[in-house]
C-alpha cells in the first residue's frame, strides 16, 4: 500500500508518498481503510523534528484521519467491519497517577499518533480501538477527518481549562486557523462575546460568519490596543492563544484583571519573554492545554456531526501532494483545514 512518509527530519522536500508494507491488526487494533486525513501544524513540527523526539524511520505522519473498518484484531469489542470511524490521536497508559485521576491528557506516557507513534496518512492503518470514534452516516469524510484534533483541542481549552462562562468576553487569536476557527465557534456557543483576530478582510468576514462579534485585523492594527479600546480599557476575560511568539505579550495585555490566558501551542515561537509584574499585578492565570480527553472529544464531535459547528476545509489534496499541504500551512495561505486523500480515493 501507499503511505505518506519520510526517512529524515527536515524541510518539506523530505515528504514522499511511497509503497510501504500493509499494516497488520494486532490484539486490540482495528484495521481502517482511510478515506481522508487532515493536516495539523503538528505535522510540520514533527517533520522538522522536535527536541527529545526519536522516531523510527521511515515515519508515517498524520494525526487526523477517517475511514471504514475492514478488519478487527483480537479482543476488539466496540467496532466491526464496515463501521465508519475517525481517529482520536491521543494515547495514554491508563495506569499512571494522572490517568487514574481521570486526566488522560496529562498522562506521563502521553503519546500522539503521527508524532510519537506511526501516523495515519496512508491507504490503510492499524489503530488501537481506544483511538477510534464512531462517525455517523451522513457526515462526509473531509469533516470526519478534519474535526477531531482541532475541535477536541479547542473544546478542552475553552470549556474545560478556561471554563468560559456565558456573558464573558473572549479573544481568539488566528481565527482562520484550525484551532482558531473551532475556538471561535465554541466560545460563541458557550454564550461569550467573541473577539477574533485574522490577517485579511476575507478572513475577518469568515470569523464574523462563524460567530465573532468583533473581528480585528492584526496586520493593520495592534490587537491589544483594539481590544482595550472596544472594552473601555477593561480587556477580555479569556484569551485563546495558539500562536505564541510576538503575540504573547499582546495576549497578556488584552486581558482584564483576573483574566485567563489559555495556550495550546506556539506556532510563532515558544520562548517569548513574560512581563511578570503584569501577571501578578493584574492577577492573571496562564493555563496550558493539550489535546482532549475521550469524553471531551465525544462532546464536541457530537456538535460537529449534528452541524452545530462547521469544519472549514481550505483545500483537499491527494496524499502525493502532502508537500503542498505543508506549504499551505507554513505560509498561512487561505483558512480552515487542509485535507489529504489517498491517491486511489482522490477524484479531484
The set of cell numbers assigned to 104 is 488522560
> Does residue 211 sit in helix, strand or coil?
coil
81 CA to centre of own chain: 28
Angle at 187 between CA 184 and CA 189, to 5 degrees: 105
Tell whether residue 215 is a contact of Zn ion (CB under 5 A).
Answer: no
Beta carbon of residue 307, minimum distance to Zn ion (angstroms, whole number):
34
Window contacting Zn ion (CB under 5 A); options: 37-45, 53-61, 102-110, 258-266 = 102-110
Tell whether residue 106 is a contact of Zn ion (CB under 5 A).
Answer: no
- Residue pair 214/192 in contact (Cβ under 8 Å)? The answer is no
Angle at 187 between CA 185 and CA 191, to 5 degrees: 110
Residues sharing a CB contact under 8 Å with residue 21, sequence separation 6 or more, in sequence order: 1
- Nearest CB to Zn ion, comparing residues 92 and 248: 92
In this chain, which of 14, 70, 96, 287 binds Zn ion, going by CB under 5 A? 96
- Residue pair 342/123 in contact (Cβ under 8 Å)? The answer is yes
Strands (E), 116-254: 124-128, 132-134, 169-172, 193-198, 214-217, 236-241
Beta carbon of residue 106, minimum distance to Zn ion (angstroms, whole number):
8
Beta carbon of residue 76, minimum distance to Zn ion (angstroms, whole number):
21
Window contacting Zn ion (CB under 5 A); options: 75-83, 98-106, 158-166, 284-292 = 98-106
In this chain, which of 36, 38, 107, 266 binds Zn ion, going by CB under 5 A? 107
Beta carbon of residue 132, minimum distance to Zn ion (angstroms, whole number):
19
Window contacting Zn ion (CB under 5 A); options: 95-103, 221-229, 252-260, 334-342 = 95-103
Site size with Zn ion, rule: CB under 5 A: 5
Beta carbon of residue 104, minimum distance to Zn ion (angstroms, whole number):
7
What sign has the CA pseudo-torsion 125, 6, 45, 319? negative
Residues sharing a CB contact under 8 Å with residue 138, sequence separation 6 or more, in sequence order: none
- Nearest CB to Zn ion, comparing residues 103 and 298: 103
92 CA to centre of own chain: 18
- According to DSSP, the residues that pair with 202 across neighbouring strands are none
Window contacting Zn ion (CB under 5 A); options: 3-11, 84-92, 222-230, 321-329 = 84-92
- Residue pair 199/218 in contact (Cβ under 8 Å)? The answer is yes
- Nearest CB to Zn ion, comparing residues 96 and 279: 96
Beta carbon of residue 94, minimum distance to Zn ion (angstroms, whole number):
6
- Tell me 117's DSSP state: B
Residues sharing a CB contact under 8 Å with residue 264, sequence separation 6 or more, in sequence order: 153, 154, 157, 179, 242, 288, 289, 290
Tell whether residue 99 is a contact of Zn ion (CB under 5 A).
Answer: yes
Beta carbon of residue 99, minimum distance to Zn ion (angstroms, whole number):
3
331 CA to centre of own chain: 18
Tell whether residue 93 is a contact of Zn ion (CB under 5 A).
Answer: yes
Window contacting Zn ion (CB under 5 A); options: 97-105, 170-178, 181-189, 282-290 = 97-105
Nearest to 251 by CA among 281, 219, 220, 285: 285
Tell whether residue 50 is a contact of Zn ion (CB under 5 A).
Answer: no
Beta carbon of residue 103, minimum distance to Zn ion (angstroms, whole number):
8
Window contacting Zn ion (CB under 5 A); options: 100-108, 274-282, 292-300, 330-338 = 100-108
Beta carbon of residue 107, minimum distance to Zn ion (angstroms, whole number):
3
- Nearest CB to Zn ion, comparing residues 136 and 288: 288
Question: Which residues in this chain contact Zn ion in the complex, by CB under 5 A?
Answer: 92-93, 96, 99, 107
Amino acid at each position: 500500500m501507499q503511505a505518506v512518509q519520510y526517512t529524515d527530519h527536515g524541510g518539506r522536500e523530505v515528504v514522499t508518498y511511497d509503497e510501504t508494507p500493509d499494516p497488520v491488526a494486532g490484539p486490540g487494533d482495528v484495521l481502517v481503510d482511510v478515506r481522508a486525513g487532515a493536516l495539523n501544524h503538528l505535522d510540520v513540527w514533527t517533520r522538522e523534528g522536535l527536541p527529545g523526539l526519536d522516531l523510527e524511520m521511515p515515519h508515517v505522519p498524520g494525526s487526523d484521519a477517517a475511514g471504514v473498518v475492514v478488519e478487527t484484531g483480537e479482543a476488539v469489542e466496540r467496532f466491526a467491519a464496515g463501521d465508519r470511524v475517525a481517529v482520536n490521536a491521543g494515547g495514554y497508559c491508563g495506569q499512571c497517577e494522572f490517568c487514574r485521576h481521570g486526566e488522560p491528557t496529562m498522562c506521563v506516557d502521553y503519546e500522539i499518533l503521527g508524532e510519537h507513534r506511526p501516523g495515519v496518512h496512508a491507504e490503510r492503518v492499524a489503530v488501537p480501538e481506544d483511538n477510534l470514534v464512531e462517525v455517523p452516516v451522513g457526515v462526509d469524510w473531509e469533516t470526519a477527518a478534519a474535526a477531531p484534533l482541532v475541535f477536541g483541542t479547542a473544546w478542552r481549552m475553552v470549556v474545560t481549562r478556561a471554563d468560559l462562562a456565558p456573558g464573558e468576553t473572549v479573544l481568539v487569536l488566528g481565527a482562520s486557523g484550525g484551532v482558531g476557527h473551532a475556538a471561535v465557534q465554541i466560545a460563541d456557543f458557550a454564550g461569550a462575546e467573541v473577539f477574533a483576530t485574522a490577517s485579511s478582510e476575507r478572513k475577518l468576514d469568515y470569523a464574523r460568519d462563524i460567530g465573532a462579534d468583533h473581528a480585528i485585523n492584526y496586520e493593520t492594527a495592534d490587537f491589544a490596543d483594539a481590544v482595550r479600546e472596544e472594552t473601555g480599557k477593561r480587556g477580555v476575560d479569556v484569551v485563546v492563544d495558539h500562536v505564541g511568539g510576538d503575540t504573547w505579550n499582546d495576549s497578556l495585555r488584552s486581558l482584564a484583571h483576573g483574566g485567563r490566558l489559555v495556550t495550546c501551542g506556539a506556532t510563532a515561537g515558544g520562548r517569548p519573554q513574560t512581563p511578570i509584574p503584569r501577571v501578578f499585578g493584574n492577577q492573571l492565570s496562564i493555563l496550558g492545554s493539550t489535546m482532549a480527553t475521550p469524553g471531551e472529544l465525544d462532546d464536541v464531535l457530537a456538535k460537529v456531526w449534528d452541524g452545530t459547528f462547521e469544519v472549514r476545509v481550505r483545500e483537499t489534496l491527494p496524499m502525493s501532494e502532502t508537500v503542498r499541504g505543508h506549504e499551505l500551512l507554513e505560509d498561512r495561505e487561505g483558512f480552515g483545514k487542509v485535507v489529504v486523500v489517498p491517491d486511489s480515493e482522490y477524484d479531484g
